[in-house]
Chain A
C-alpha cells in the first residue's frame, strides 16, 4: 500500500521511499521511514494531495504519493 491509497483523514506509518531520482527531495522535507502520514486534502479531478507529516503539511501529486510505501 502507498500513500496514494490513503482515504481522507486516514493515517499510516511510512515504510520506505521508492528509489528514484527525487528520493532526496522526500528526505529533505522530512518525509522519512517510520513517520506517521495522514491524508488531509485532495484537490479535485485527481489533483495534488495534501499530507500531514508530524506538523508539516506537504503537497504531492498522486504520481509522487505512490512512491511512499506504507507499513500495513
Chain B
C-alpha cells in the first residue's frame, strides 16, 4: 500500500565568521541547487540552497559572514532579522560554523546565536588544520558545556559532510540554555516591554532589537521612535552595553575552552607569514600585484580569443545555413539577420566574463584579495577612498553592478558613496567587446617587445578608466562632506589553495547572470533594431525595391552584387533607424561619427555591449550573408559614401573608445546605484556628469587624431 506523506520543507539558516569555510559547506551540501534573490528593503543577496536527504527536504539560507551579531553593516542586520524571524518566516533551525583553529572568536558569534533560543547545531570546521597546529578539541566536553550538538568537519576535503546531513535528517538540533543573562545588560522591565511589543519569546531577542534599532532601515518609523524613547526612559546605552556583553561573553567562552581544548607546544611553521614576507613586501608586493593584473588582461585579451573565434565562426555559419535551408521570407530574414547574430553577440563574451570572474574568485579564495586592501589602502586614501574600495573597483572591471554592490563592505558612508559613484568608470566587461572590435580596427596586430600592440592598447584603455576613476574620486572628496571617521580593521586570512569547485561555481553563476540578464536586453534590442532597420515610412521601401528590380533587369549579371549593395545601403538610410541616426548626426559629427554609429550610440544607452549587436545588425542587413564575413572584417571595409575614406579610422575609433570609456550607458548600473543610495539624485548626477565628460573627451580625441 502506498501512502503519500506531505513532505514539509524545513528551513535552516547557516551562519559563521568570514573565511570559516561556510560557503564551502554550503556549496558541498547544495551543489547547483542554489537560488540568488534579495531581502526586502536591503541590498544583501539572499542565497538559498535546496537539499533533499532521503524523504526530507530542506531549504538552506546562506547568511552573510559576520564576526558578531552587532550592527555594523547590512550583513549583520540581515543575520539578525532572519534569525529572529523579522519580516520573514523564522528558520526552523540554525547551523553555526565554527573555526576549529579559532574557537574563541567564532564562539562569540556562536553563543550569541545560542542566546537567541533557536534550535541549533555547531559545525566545527577545519579540523585537519587544527590537528596540524596541535589543537585538540574534546567534543563531548564542549557539548556538555554548550548544550549544542556539534560535528567536526574539513569542508575543503569534503570530510564530515555526511555527519552534517545526518544531523539535518534526524533533526538533531537543540535549543541550548543561554550563556549570558540579558537582564545583566539592560533593564528587565525594558526587555519585557520590547518582548511584548514585538512578540519575542526570549530576552536576548529583545536586547538585539534594542541594539539594532537605529541601524535597521526596514524597521518602521513608529517602531524606531518607540525603541528610541524606551532606550532614553530606561537609560540604555547601546554601545556601552555591547562592549560589556562582549567582554562577559569572552570570559565565559575562555572558561569553557580551558576545559574543552588543549594545545600541544608545537611551533608550527607558519606558511602564511612566510608568504606575506613576499606578497606584502614594500616593493616586490606591488610588483606582484601589477604582474597579476597584467596576467589577467593578457588572459582576457589573448587566451579568450580562441573560443571566441570558434563562437564567431559558428554563429556566422548558422546564419548562412538558415538562408540556404529555410524558405526565403520575413521570418527567415528575422532569424538569420536579427536573432542569430543577436544571440551570437551575447554568447561570444562568455569566455572573457567567465575568465575574469574566475580570476577574481581565485584571488579571493586564496586570501590574496585582502592583501590587496593592505597594500592599496595608503594609495587610495588621498583620493577619498578606502583600501576596501579596491575590491569594488577591481570587480568593476568585470561589471560595475557587483562592484557597486561590493561597496557595502565599506562602513564609512562617504567613502562608500564615492566608491559607488566612480566605479562605473572602471572598464567593465561590457566595454570590452567595444574595445576589442575598435582596437582590432585601429591598432596594428604586431608585436612590440614580445607583447601584442593590441594588448597594450587594451591596457591603455583600462588605465584611462582607472585614472579617471581616481580623479573623479578626488573631486568628490572635496565636494562631499561627512563627520564620520574612516577606519581600517580587517583580517588577513591564511593563504590557501583555491577551491576549484567554488571558482567554477562563480564562473558558471556569473556567466549565467550575464546571459540571462544582459542577454535579454541585447536580444530584444537586436530584434527591435532589425525591425527598425528593415522597415521605413510606408511606400518608400517599396519604391526602392521596384527601382532596384528595374535596374537589375538592365544590368548584366556580373554587376548585380554591386547594385544589391548600393540598394541595401539606400534601404538602410530610408528605414526608421536611418532616420533616427540622421537626426542626431549633427550633434555627433564633431566627434567623428556618422549616422550609423549614431544608431549604435542610441541603442547603447540601454547597455554598452549592445554596440556590438547593433553594429552587427546594421552592417549585415542587406549585405551578402553567405559570405559569412565576421563583424570586424565587415567594418574594415566600411567607407564614407561621400569621401570614400574608411569610417573606422584612427580618429573615429579612438574617439569612440574614449566615449565608451566615460559615458554612463548602462541602465542596470543606474538602477543599482539607486538601490544602493536610496535616492535618484546620485544616478541622475552620474548620467549627466559622466556623459558630459564623455562628449567633451571624445571631441578632444577626435580633433587630436584627425
Contacts and interface: CB of A to CB of B under 8 A. Distances in A.
Interface of A: 21-30, 32, 40-41, 43-48, 50, 52, 54-61, 63-64
B425 interface: no
B492 interface: yes
Contacts of A54: 102, 104
A32 B250 contact: yes
B387 interface: yes
B165 to A, nearest CB: 30
Contact of B239 (A21, A30, A44, A61): A21
A52 B277 CA distance: 13
Contacts of A60: 488-489
B294 interface: no
A26 to B, nearest CB: 7
Nearest to A46: B378
B246 A58 contact: no
Contacts of B494: 57
B282 A24 contact: no
Contacts of B272: 57
Given A23-B239, A43-B375, A59-B377, 20 more contacts: A22-B489, A24-B70, A27-B246, A29-B67, A30-B102, A40-B276, A43-B280, A43-B378, A44-B283, A47-B374, A47-B377, A50-B276, A50-B374, A54-B104, A55-B101, A55-B133, A57-B272, A60-B488, A60-B489, A61-B488
B243 interface: yes
Closest 7 CB pairs of A and B: A47-B378, A57-B492, A30-B105, A28-B67, A28-B68, A44-B282, A27-B246
Contacts of B242: 24
Interface string B256-285: 000000000000001011001000101100
B374 A43 contact: yes
Contacts of A28: 67-68, 70, 105, 108, 246
A23 B379 CA distance: 26
Contacts of B492: 50, 57-59
B555 interface: no
A22 B250 CA distance: 17
A64 B487 contact: yes
Contact of B487 (A30, A32, A41, A61): A61
B538 interface: no
A64 B487 CA distance: 7
Determine the main DSSP class of B at the interface with A: helix
A9 to B, nearest CB: 10
Contacts of B246: 24, 27-28
Nearest to A47: B378
Contacts of B377: 43, 47-48, 59, 61
B320 to A, nearest CB: 57
B361 interface: no
Contacts of A43: 280, 282, 374-375, 377-378
B270, B370, B378: most-surrounded residue (chain A CB, <10 A): B378
Contacts of B375: 43, 47
A25 B375 CA distance: 21
A54 B493 CA distance: 13
B276 A41 contact: yes
A62 B492 CA distance: 16
B72 A59 contact: no
B387 A48 contact: yes
B102 A59 contact: no
Interface in B564-614: none
B490 interface: yes
Nearest to B281: A41
A44 B101 CA distance: 31
23 contacts: A22-B489, A23-B243, A24-B70, A24-B246, A27-B243, A28-B108, A29-B105, A29-B489, A30-B105, A32-B250, A47-B374, A47-B375, A47-B377, A47-B379, A48-B377, A48-B378, A50-B280, A54-B102, A57-B491, A57-B494, A58-B492, A63-B487, A64-B489
A64 B485 CA distance: 11
Contacts of A58: 489-492
Contact of B72 (A25, A48, A50, A57): A25
B373 interface: yes
Nearest to B106: A30
